């Protein structure tokens, strides 16, 4: 009786037999969710394999060599921010180009922004002011008839890349960083527009140089 009772107690303590585990695993994998998990896992492994191949993980890199580099600086006016950006650019690259987008059919708003009377018939004064300033960096004017900013600069940088003249092209975008969060909502988004266009349409390295404004007491 004791042995029998003990055997019965041990039998009751054992978990119920629900079939072999491998069969249950095959059942789970045969469901849409299981197949999706397998597909996602395979995609992740392939992605990491491609990244590892690109980074040459597990191999000794080749020798360090000097590359010919160009830094492009978009400018919209001649200010302290422009000077700071050009100073940083000449420290980063072998050559530096300043670029500005010029609308080929400027309207009254464009002329007023450039400081030109509407009826004067004169063009943008940027070239004249640049020559008076003489920063030692050439200014390239990019014509555009559609009042765009990011796409003309991106097209110009992409053209430089296709020429294969430079091993590396960097675009340094100067912009103002307001002191207050609420002031950022009022700030123009030129830097963000240029940044998005460059990342979408070119292989250039994009950097943003911010001039921080001091909060007033």
Bridge partners (DSSP) listed for residue 175: 210
On the question of pLDDT at 17 being above 80, the answer is: no
Who's near 145: CB < 8 A, 6+ residues apart?
103, 104, 105
Tell me the pLDDT tens digit for each residue of 27-76.
555 676 667 777 888 889 888 889 988 888 888 988 998 889 999 999 98
In the numeric block, the tokens 């940027």 are attached to 126
pLDDT for position 202? 95
**Which of 5-14, 76-85, 181-190, 204-213 has the weakest average pLDDT?**
5-14
* 55, 59, 92 from 64: Cα distances, Å: 15, 15, 17
Share of the chain above pLDDT 90, in %: 39
Who's near 191: CB < 8 A, 6+ residues apart?
173, 174, 175, 208
Q: Average per-residue pLDDT in the chain? A: 79
**Which of 140-144, 162-166, 179-183, 203-207 has the weakest average pLDDT?**
179-183
């Amino acid at each position: 009786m004791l042995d029998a009772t003990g055997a019965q107690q041990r039998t009751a303590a054992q978990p119920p037999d629900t079939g072999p585990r491998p069969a249950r695993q095959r059942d789970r994998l045969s469901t849409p969710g299981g197949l999706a998990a397998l597909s996602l896992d395979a995609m992740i492994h392939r992605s990491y394999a491609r990244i590892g191949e690109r980074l040459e993980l597990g191999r000794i890199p080749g020798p360090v060599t000097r590359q010919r580099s160009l830094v492009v600086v978009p400018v919209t006016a001649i200010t302290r921010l422009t000077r700071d950006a050009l100073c940083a650019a000449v420290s980063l690259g072998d050559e530096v180009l300043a670029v500005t987008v010029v609308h080929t059919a400027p309207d009254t708003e464009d002329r007023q922004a450039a400081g030109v009377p509407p009826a004067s018939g004169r063009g943008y004064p940027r070239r004249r002011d640049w020559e008076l300033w003489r920063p030692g960096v050439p200014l390239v004017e990019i014509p555009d008839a559609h009042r765009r900013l990011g796409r003309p600069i991106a097209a110009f940088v992409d053209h430089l890349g296709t020429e294969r003249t430079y091993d590396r092209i960097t675009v340094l975008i100067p912009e103002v960083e307001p002191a207050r969060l609420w002031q950022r909502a009022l700030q123009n988004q030129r830097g963000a527009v240029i940044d998005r266009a460059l990342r979408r349409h070119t292989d250039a390295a994009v950097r943003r140089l911010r001039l921080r404004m001091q909060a007033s007491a």
